[in-house]
């Protein structure tokens, strides 16, 4: 996933990880590792543990996520995150911005490819 200039999905991810995390939590509440796994299963294989955890923390501080602890009979307690109304709002706006951005980039890259061909 890394080319010689050092650009990789990790760099791209940084800008959109908030959106990805919000989208995953919207599907279902989840605890840190569970969210991480769902992101990876969805194809974001290079997403880092600390990045997801940091993002969850930041979204929580910003009021986009709420959390609750679920005691586990086997293993540690789990801190579940859920989307707040503010989180929903953020996700909607973020998704809109992303689509526009992706369209723009698609056009750019698409045009570029045509010119190159």
Site residues (vs other proteins, CB under 8 A): 14, 17, 31-34, 37, 48-55, 57-58, 69, 75-79
Query: How big is the chain by its Cα radius of gyration, in Å?
Result: 17
Measured from the CB of residue 62, what is the shortest distance to other proteins in angstroms? 9
Task: Name the minimum Å distance from CB 63 to other proteins.
Answer: 14
8 vs 106, beta carbon nearer other proteins? 8
Q: What 3-state class would DSSP assign to 85?
A: helix
The minimum distance between CB 110 and other proteins, in angstroms, equals: 31
The CA–CA distances, whole Å, from 10 to 2, 38, 65, 112 equal 9, 17, 23, 23
């Amino acid at each position: 996933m890394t080319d010689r200039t050092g650009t990789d999905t990790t760099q791209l991810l940084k800008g959109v990880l908030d959106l990805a995390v919000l989208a995953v939590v919207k599907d279902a509440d989840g605890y840190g590792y569970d969210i991480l796994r769902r992101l990876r299963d969805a194809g974001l294989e290079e997403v880092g543990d600390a990045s997801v955890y940091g993002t969850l923390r930041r979204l929580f501080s910003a009021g986009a996520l709420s959390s609750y602890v679920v005691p586990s009979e086997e293993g540690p307690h789990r801190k579940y995150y859920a989307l707040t109304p503010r989180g929903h709002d953020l996700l909607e706006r973020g998704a809109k911005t992303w689509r526009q951005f992706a369209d723009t980039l698609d056009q750019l890259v698409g045009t570029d490819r045509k010119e190159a061909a």
